[in-house]
Chains A and B, each alone.
Chain A
Amino acid sequence: MSKDKREKEPLFSAKNRKLLINPLHKDNPITTQVLGICSALAVTAKIKPAFVMTLSVIAVLGFANVIVSILRHGIPPRIRIIVQLVVIASLVILVDQVLKAFVFDVSKQLSVFVGLIITNCIIMGRLEAFALGNKPWPSFLDGIGNAFGYGWILIVVAFFREFLGSGTIWDYPVMEQLGVYNFGYQNNGFMILPPMALIIVGIIIWVQRSKDKSLVEEN
């Protein structure tokens, strides 16, 4: 690519903005690329862990993209996967330590899933598809954008699952305050189970595609 052209590009050019915005909707990692589903099912029973998970993924993906982008000319192509893994793993360990130090209870709830960020397909996918071929700043935007795209789905799913399944929002007993239990209302136990997360993700995809027909595949 022509270097002189790139250097004149402003920080938030239309192209860079697209890197940040597209993954939120049209190119969403979960609903369009269908990546990172496993953790979306596992950590969305409550909003709090989902939120912490989102922050962790934003930190890991943002920095991993930048680091790999900086190293991209020095990484021999044949061992690039292992190099990427080392980068991701170091960042995940950092995040894990921070969580353990400051929000221990949430860290316990997330248990192995923080460690499993390493295997989150979104992260490897972005490193392979974007950071290896682009400069640090666009890579950073791409990483943050995809992590946010992943995160907002996570939080929406977690909101419905916590609200309907446990009757709380961010551990605040909303349903109890509303007093609906007195009318015979009960929490929906199915919401706590992982299949329901899949169904909610499915509903989000349904809504998204009926709003934006360009996402519907031809078959």
Chain B
Amino acid sequence: MKAIRKILDNIKPHVQKGGKFEMFHSAFDAVETLLFVPDHVTTKGSHIRDGVDMKRTMTVVILALLPTLIFGMWNVGRLHFLSHGETFEIMDAFWYGFLKVLPIIIVTYVVGLGLEIIFAQQRGHEVNEGFLVSGMLIPLTLPPDIPLWMVAIATAFAVIIGKEVFGGTGMNILNPALTARAFLFFAYPADMSGDKVWISEKADAFSGATPLGDALVGNFENIPSPMEMFIGTIPGSIGETSTLLITFGAIILLVTGVGSWRILLSTVVGALVMGGLFNLWGENAYMDMPAYYHLILGGFAFGAVFMATDPVTASQTNRGKYIYGFLIGFIAVLIRVFNPAYPEGMMLAILFMNVFAPLIDHYVIEANIKKRLKRAKA
């Protein structure tokens, strides 16, 4: 640690205002505050400055994502060998997936952080660390064989149009990771949907449909057992398959208080309510599917835990969080069952509710003001 501190202290004078490499000062700042607790102190008043700043918060989320990531890598390799009918060891599969997924992660971080640093430098801001998490989320929502240049374009789109035009981290309306995914989904549907893309370099004869895709077209005999889907040995986006490990990540987020339990709970309730209503309706096989299947199919769990709870784009008020979460779950299942063009309703539901979150907050606050006025008059 001391050695790193020494190196940083040596570089510091050169990149500060007036130094030779002033243009790198944002980049330097980012590295320094990531590695060490910043030495800002409060000068006035009795505010408490905690060591938990945004970077630490983000680190917790990354930590919560790691199990899913590692499992995802293994699953990518496993499905690849399985589709070719080859035998393999656990490490073989992991290594194969690792080599597939790592380039996607690197591209996302290089493009995303590069753009963040350029914008921060231009505007004279600190580099915002929001991208640490987005950069990890983006690869996890993509299929393993996605061409890297598409990843680069989508990341650039998400950072510039999704975030920087609104003023950077904390000001964005839409979740940046989902913006990237939605961009790819609409721009390059051939590489982002269907039953060809979810298994890396799939053998032609092997069915590569995700359980969600099977459910949509009514192939219920192809859907694996709930246990298999819960553990996550099914085709899908890199990080979305294992509900088990996502639950593990959810526990980390909830225990540390980084994720909101209100949103998470109400999202699950929303999906179950809608699923239950469809069960009662029961017009076709998809509607008859047990409601809890929706929780383990596709990206529902991943979206609910890591996307819906994003503190920037979610509702801020406690009552608003219940409404926001409930509608995400509700709409996600609605889109899944009713709209054959968009098998994964979770992405669209979250983006949709992102847009409405400020409106929900507005009415929750108005209602509260009215209530208190009434009490004051009485």
Contacts and interface: CB of A to CB of B under 8 A. Distances in A.
Nearest to B186: A190
A193 B186 contact: yes
A189 B147 contact: no
A17 to B, nearest CB: 34
B189 A189 contact: yes
A184 interface: yes
- What's the dominant secondary structure at chain B's contact region? helix
A188 B188 contact: yes
B165 A202 contact: yes
B107 interface: no
A157 interface: no
Contacts of A190: 183, 186-187
A199 interface: yes
A189 B188 contact: yes
B190 interface: yes
A188 B165 contact: no
Interface residues of B, number: 13
A188 B187 contact: yes
Interface string B145-174: 001011001000000010001000000000
Interface in B215-253: none
A170 interface: no
A12 interface: no
A186 B149 CA distance: 10
A206 interface: yes
Interface in A178-219: 184-186, 188-191, 193, 199, 202-203, 206
Contacts of A203: 161
A186 B153 CA distance: 12
Residue among B149, B161, B186, B190 facing the most chain A CB atoms (10 A cut-off): B186
Interface residues of A, number: 12
Contacts of B188: 186, 188-189
A199 B189 contact: no
Contacts, number: 23
A199 B174 CA distance: 14
Interface in A158-189: 184-186, 188-189
A189 B154 CA distance: 13
B161 A186 contact: no
Nearest to A190: B187
Contact of B147 (A184, A193, A206): A184
Interface in B277-325: none
Interface string B201-219: 0000000000000000000
B147 A191 contact: no
Interface string B180-201: 0001001111110000000000
A168 B150 CA distance: 20
Contacts of A206: 165
A147 B165 CA distance: 29
Residue among A184, A185, A190, A193 facing the most chain B CB atoms (10 A cut-off): A190
A188 B186 CA distance: 8
Nearest to B182: A190
Contacts of A202: 165
Contacts of B183: 190
Interface in B66-120: none
B183 to A, nearest CB: 6
Contacts of B191: 186
Nearest to A199: B161
Contact of B186 (A184, A186, A189): A189
Contacts of A188: 153, 187-188
A191 B187 contact: yes
A65 to B, nearest CB: 35
Contacts of B165: 202, 206
A131 to B, nearest CB: 36
A189 B161 contact: no
Contacts of A191: 187
Nearest to A188: B187
Nearest to A165: B187
Nearest to B160: A203
Contact of B187 (A184, A185, A189): A189
A165 to B, nearest CB: 9
Interface string A127-141: 000000000000000
A195 to B, nearest CB: 8
Nearest to B184: A190
A58 B183 CA distance: 35
B204 to A, nearest CB: 20
A215 to B, nearest CB: 16
A186 B186 CA distance: 13
Nearest to B153: A188
5 contacts: A186-B188, A188-B153, A188-B187, A189-B188, A191-B187
Interface of B: 147, 149-150, 153, 161, 165, 183, 186-191
Interface of A: 184-186, 188-191, 193, 199, 202-203, 206
Given A184-B147, A186-B190, A189-B188, 16 more contacts: A184-B149, A186-B150, A186-B191, A188-B153, A188-B187, A189-B187, A189-B189, A190-B183, A190-B186, A190-B187, A191-B187, A193-B186, A199-B161, A202-B165, A203-B161, A206-B165
Closest 10 CB pairs of A and B: A190-B187, A190-B186, A188-B187, A189-B187, A186-B188, A184-B147, A189-B189, A199-B161, A189-B186, A190-B183
